[in-house]
Each structure stands twice: as structure tokens, then as C-alpha cells.
A and B are shown apart, each in its own frame.
Chain A
Amino acid sequence: MNAQFKRGIVELCVLSELIMEDMYGYKIINNISKDIDVNENTIYPILRRLTKEGHFTTYLVESNLGAPRKYYKVTEKGFNYYLELRDAWDQFIGGVYEILNKGGRKNEEIFERFGKRIKKTKD
């Protein structure tokens, strides 16, 4: 996937996770990588940037397993930013699905026909 595009989507995912509850870095990474194919490489830089830009604040919580953990919390600015991204994403993906689903229930027929056409040109 195009890196810039992916970064935008992961940004929205990070915001979405943190709107549900404050979390520490590894938990965010773990939650997101459960559903989409990303790792720390992608997520941490986003966490860091959004914190720098004031979308998140951080606080430390003592952990019974070793060092205290840094929790991230969405700010008011971050929440508004989330709403913007979410809106843009919904509009965008809506448009994409509109295009993909143009064939509607006939989609399967279209696929089949397309498959035959490809085969013909190969032969």
C-alpha cells in the first residue's frame, strides 16, 4: 500500500482507538495490528507527531510490571481533528464503494464476463 495513504488511515485508527479510552503505546499498537497489517514502525511516529501537534497529551501510570507506562489522551483539538478525518474518510470510502458497487447485484456476472474477456486476449 502507498505509504502516505496508509499513514493517513493509521492516523485515523490511532485517534479512533484513543477516543475510546486512554492507552499506553504498546496497547495501541497491539489493538490496531490485530485488525490491520501495521507494526510499531508506522504507529509510533504517528503517536509522536500527533502528541507534538497537541492532539494528544501524555501522563505516566505506575505499572506493577516494571517501569511506569506513558498513557496517551486525546485533547479537545485531537477530538475535532478526529471528526474532520472521520468525515473525510467516510466521504472518500463512500465514493469508492459507490464506484465499486456500480454493477450492484450483477457484479458476479461482470466478473465472469471480464474473466472470459481476459482469457480470450490471452489465447
Chain B
Amino acid sequence: MKKFLKDLEKELKKLKINSKDIEEILEDHKEMIEAAKSEGLNDEQLEEKFGNPVNVAKDIFEDNNTLPKEGYNFEDIDSCVKENTADYTLVKTFPIVSEEITIEISLISDDLSLIEYDGESIQVYEKEIKDIKEYTITLDDNHFELKKDKNKFKLFSSSSNDARFFVLIPKGVKIKDFEYKTISGDLELDGITALKFKLKSTSGDVETTNLDLGETKFSTISGDIEINNLKAKSFEMSLISGDLDIKKAIIEEDMYFNSVSGDVQLYEVECNNATLKTVSGDLNGNEFYPKEVILKSISGDINIDNRDVLKEVNIIVKKTISGEINIK
């Protein structure tokens, strides 16, 4: 690898990088090569790892000269971490005229809590919302809408502060259709009854308790989902890398999990058919009683650990390269 260092030096000189920088770059490489060697890499592996000195030199040169230096307005790190204690402000109240409504919520990065309460009207509260005019909040024709006007996606645009909505739904109100969409906002749901339920989150986390749902669809990219005490007719879940955790659920019909690498944890769950389609995600169940299971995976497993031996689990389809179904 001495040649590598020599070549690198030559290339850096060719590009007229100043000698102090060259010295530093060579020093760094010497150290990294030494570290690689001490881990037992042979010459061939070293070459593969360190590649071509011409490219290193070129990349350093380009990085030094062509990349724009953005002047970000970084906010104090504390603002990301510290919980703000400011109280919520009531924004709108809608008296309920019908017992059946539809709900449509579409947010970008704001968090939302939607909770059932002993009251007569839908109440919307906010905390730290920058400009409430950027949101549509209406109840028209028994259709409740909470939406943030979407700006076009800007790569590396500065992210806004985490603001939060708090929505109260009167007990006994039946939701015909519940649709929720977010990019990075977190969601908390408690005690909602809905016939049709659809949730889409890119990286926001979701936590639900005591939901009574019909046809249920969750989909997330990297957000985690935690579900406690769920009753649903059917359940469909699509994950990319987020994890799903369900504690206590009764699903009348089938459960369908589609995941790339996200794992699924189930505790005290009953359903008819459970299908797991995954690349490398696992499904682990404790007291998980599907009548039948289907596994389609590259390396994902299904592991079920049950105490009640009388309830049998049938394996219907198993298409996998190295995945397994283990039932205890």
C-alpha cells in the first residue's frame, strides 16, 4: 500500500492542493490503512477497500471546490429536545349534528393526538402552530377535515418546529371513514370507533389504544407503530423499516403484513389467516392465535410461542429462501 500513498500524493499535487492539506490527507490515510491492516486485511482486500487514489484525490478536490456552502439557520439544539410546557389553545369547536361522520386528516410534520371524550362537540386545540391560516379545519356536511396546505417538496429545506394538534371527539360518534396522512408527525389515538380506517405515515410514529375498527389499513416507511387493545374486522399493514408492536387484538378476519425489514411483535392476538410477506423482517408472536399462517420471505421468519395447545395453527404456504416458521 506504499504505492497507494505515493500515488495519492502525486495526484493531490497535480490538483494543486496545498501542502499542509496534502500532509494531513496522507497522514489520515496512513492511519486508516494501518487500522485496516491490524484487522487482518490482506493487500487485495485493502485495494478493494481503498480503491483508486486518483478518485480519492478527485473527490477531495471537488468537495473543496464545487460544493456550495449553504448558510443554514441552525436553531438551538435545545429546542429539539426540551419539552415545551406551554398550554394548548382552543382553535375551533364543532357541535355534532349527526352520529355518523367522516374524518380526513393530512399533516406534514405536526404531531396529533385524537382522543375520545365525554362531550358534545369536536374540539380542536393547538400548541406552537406557527400560522394557523396554513391549515384547513372544517366540519362540512358531517365531514371533518384537518389539513396542512402542502408546499412542494424541497430537498434540504429547513424543517419547521414540531407543533401539535389535539382533537377531541365526543364518545358515541361513529366514524364511517377515517383517513390520516402524515410525513413525519407523530400520532396518538385513543378510543376511536371507525368503520373504515386508513393511516399513512412516512416517518412519524403511531401509538393507539382502545380502537374499535372495521376494515383497517396501516402503512409506514420508517415510523414505528404501537397498538394496544384493538378490535378490528380486518387488518392490513405495510412497513418498510419501521417496527410494529401489537398488544391485545382481536381481528375477526385476516391479518396481512407486508414489510421490507421491519419486525412485527404480537402479544395476545387472534385472527383468522395471518400472512407475512417480507424481505428480512420477522414476525414474533406470543399468545398469537391465527387459524392459519402464510409466509413469503427471503430471510424473514415467523416465530410463534403459545401456551394454549388446543388452538392449532396451520401452515398454509411457506415460500422462503432461508426463513422459517417455528411454532411452539
Contact = CB atoms under 8 A, between A and B. Distances in A.
Interface of A: 24-27, 29-30, 33, 39-42, 44-46, 48-49, 53, 63, 65-70, 76-77, 79-81, 83-85, 87-88, 90-95, 97, 101, 105
A41 B50 contact: yes
B59 A84 contact: no
Contacts of A85: 156
Nearest to A69: B31
A93 B60 CA distance: 28
Contact of B221 (A30, A53, A93): A93
A49 B59 CA distance: 10
Interface string B57-74: 001101110010100101
Contacts of A80: 72, 74-75, 77, 80
A53 B60 CA distance: 14
A73 to B, nearest CB: 15
Interface string B141-182: 000000000000111111100000000000000000000000
Given A26-B35, A44-B56, A88 B50 contact: no
Nearest to A87: B159
A94 B30 contact: no
Contacts of B62: 45
9 contacts: A25-B31, A45-B59, A48-B63, A76-B77, A77-B74, A88-B155, A92-B155, A93-B202, A94-B183
B132 interface: no
A81 to B, nearest CB: 7
B105 interface: no
Interface in B250-301: 258
B36 A26 contact: yes
- Label chain A's interface by main secondary structure: helix
A44 B32 contact: yes
Given A40-B50, A41-B55, A65-B38, 11 more contacts: A40-B56, A41-B51, A44-B60, A48-B25, A65-B35, A66-B34, A80-B72, A80-B80, A90-B183, A93-B202, A94-B202
Interface in B18-60: 25, 28-36, 38-39, 48-52, 55-56, 59-60
Contacts of B184: 87, 90-91
B112 interface: no
A53 B159 CA distance: 20
A46 B153 contact: no
Contacts of A101: 238
Shortest beta-carbon contacts, A-B, top 7:
A94-B202, A26-B35, A45-B59, A90-B203, A41-B51, A65-B38, A26-B32
Given A25-B28, A26-B36, A81-B72, A94 B203 contact: yes
A79 B153 CA distance: 22
Contacts of B63: 45-46, 48-49
B124 interface: no
Contacts of B34: 65-67
Given A80-B75, A91-B202, A39 B32 contact: no
A63 B35 CA distance: 10
A53 B70 CA distance: 10
A45 B63 CA distance: 7
Contact of A44 (B28, B153, B154): B28
A30 B32 CA distance: 10
Contacts of B51: 39-41
B71 to A, nearest CB: 11
A45 B153 contact: no
B202 A66 contact: no
Contacts of A88: 154-157
Contacts of B232: none
A25 B120 CA distance: 61
A108 to B, nearest CB: 10
B240 interface: yes
Among A24, A40, A68: residue with most chain B CB under 10 A: A40
B202 to A, nearest CB: 3
A17 B30 CA distance: 22
Contact of A33 (B49, B52, B183, B240): B49
